[in-house]
Amino acid sequence: MTAQVLAPKERKVAQRRIALTGNHAVALAVKMCRPEVIAAYPITPQTPVVERLAEYVNNGELDAEYIPVESEHSAMSAVIGASAMGARTFTETASQGLGHMYENLPIAVGLRLPIVMGMAVRTYSAPINVWGDYSDVMSMRELGWIIYLTQTAQEAFDTVIQAYRVAEDSRVHLPVVVAYDGFWTSHVLQPLEVPEDEEEVMRFAPITRSWVKLDVDRPVSIGAVGTPEWYWEIRWQAVEALRGSIKVIEEVDEEFGKVFGRSYGLAVPYRLENAELAIVTYGSIFGLVKKAVDRLRAEGVRAGALRLRVIRPWPRDLLRKLLGHVDKVVVIDRAINHGGPLYGPMAVELEATLARPVYNVLATVGMRAIDTDMIYEGALKAYRGQWVPDEVYTIGLRGGP
């Protein structure tokens, strides 16, 4: 499953292979990162994460304050407060829960708090749909959070650990969200490599407490008013921190590879060398996309694929490098950019990045099932000119374009 990253790396840390669902893998990673305050409200499909964390705290495996808040708004408020006190924090949400905590999300950015949040992505109501697509996390793009989109339980586990290291780096000090597919990752049981010695995780990502925090020995007011003379400058610091975090994200990922044997990069290319067509997507469906690429290659189509992993900060230069030579870029988006210039959020951003039209395809909306054949057929339509760039196409929508 993570074939592209596992094999060749030399690893320093002894690990064992267990089997866990994505949710429980995330909970385990969080436990190993030893957050001091956890505040979360359960919502499908992340509920098993917060339940498992509550168990860890209850049975003494994790020494943390667990605040069973009455809503996501309170969850984000509580971790903002705790983080401002200097605590390592964790929360998790999805969909409507994210919507409910929304007003606090930009506050975490402006206060430069290294909060780590998990997200088992889920679409937005209505109609009520508890299943996975990326509508929720995509609505966070403008806020200044670092955003990781992961593919597997293993990657979600690894990325949570990386996230703490990145967030608390004194060059960054920004909140991070680690997203993974609701159900297709959160509830899928997969193999998972975990360190034999949990302390290895804390050695890799020790709590830095380097951020601006409330401290009785060094009093400070946090969250004061920012009049028009000051607001932009303070916000610009967060803009620059996010821009600069790309280097830290890469560094941390590389070092994680050296210690744990797995690294992912900002984006994950697949058979892109000499490709004339590339399928770009994100999340759990990348396994299917790779199979479709293999089939296209077998039939003589020079196809490749790319998985977006870090979308904030946007790895513009890398994407230009990886996709610059590719003639046809087919972007399979898993969230709808309602009424936008293109109907897929990542299609818009890739078009802006590559400065040329891309193929705009929507799939898995509301967790509509997809398989390799459907992806293969879509790619073929683009390859043969039945699809044209800049028009919206769908894979799996009955009667859809």
Partner 1 sequence: MRIETVWLGRGGQGIVTATYIIANAAILDGFYAMANPEFGAERRGAPVKAFLTISKEPFDDQEPVKTPDVVVVFDDKLIEPMRFAIDAAKPGGYVIVNTAKKPEEVKRLVGRNDVYLVVLDAIDIARRHVKLDVPNGPLAGAFAKVMGFPRLESIRQAFENQLGKAVEENFAATKEAYETAVVIPPERVDPTAKPRGIISTTSAFLTGPYELVGWAEVNKAGAVYPGTSLPYTTGGWRIDKPVIDHSKCIMCRKCWLYCPDDAVIEAWKEIEGPRGRKIRMKAIEFDYNYCKGCGICADVCPTGAIQMVREI
Residues that bind partner 1 (CB under 8 A): 110-112, 173, 211-212, 218-230, 232-234, 236-237, 240
182 SS3 class: coil
C-beta closer to partner 1: residue 232 or 390: 232
Least distance in angstroms from the C-beta of 181 to partner 1: 33
* Residue 201 structure tokens: 């995780």
Contact 268/337 with Cβ under 8 angstroms? no
Place of tokens 């159900």: 183
C-beta closer to partner 1: residue 43 or 79: 79
C-beta closer to partner 1: residue 215 or 317: 215
Number of Cβ within 10 Å of residue 60's Cβ equals 7
Can you tell me the distance from the alpha carbon of 401 to that of 391, in angstroms, rounded to the nearest whole number?
Answer: 9
C-beta closer to partner 1: residue 226 or 340: 226
DSSP string, 314-325: --HHHHHHHHTT
* Residue 287 structure tokens: 């396994």
258 SS3 class: helix
Least distance in angstroms from the C-beta of 79 to partner 1: 16
Least distance in angstroms from the C-beta of 240 to partner 1: 8
Least distance in angstroms from the C-beta of 311 to partner 1: 24
Least distance in angstroms from the C-beta of 102 to partner 1: 20
Contact 57/184 with Cβ under 8 angstroms? no
DSSP string, 121-185: E-PPPSSP--S--THHHHTTTTTT-EEEE--SHHHHHHHHHHHHHHHTSTTT---EEEEEETTTT
Least distance in angstroms from the C-beta of 219 to partner 1: 5
For residue 175, whether the previous peptide bond is cis, meaning omega lies within 30 degrees of 0, is: no
Residues sharing a CB contact under 8 Å with residue 265, sequence separation 6 or more, in sequence order: 250, 253, 309, 318
C-beta closer to partner 1: residue 112 or 328: 112
User: Where do the H-state alpha helices sit in 261-323?
Assistant: 286-298, 316-323
Least distance in angstroms from the C-beta of 243 to partner 1: 13
Least distance in angstroms from the C-beta of 166 to partner 1: 17
Can you tell me the distance from the alpha carbon of 257 to that of 10, in angstroms, rounded to the nearest whole number?
Answer: 8
- What is the torsional sign of CA 314, 320, 321, 325? positive
Contact 360/331 with Cβ under 8 angstroms? yes
Cite the beta strand spans of 339-399 per DSSP E: 359-363, 392-395
For residue 313, whether the previous peptide bond is cis, meaning omega lies within 30 degrees of 0, is: yes
C-beta closer to partner 1: residue 188 or 222: 222
C-beta closer to partner 1: residue 197 or 232: 232
Least distance in angstroms from the C-beta of 127 to partner 1: 41
C-beta closer to partner 1: residue 236 or 390: 236
Number of Cβ within 10 Å of residue 70's Cβ equals 8
C-beta closer to partner 1: residue 19 or 234: 234
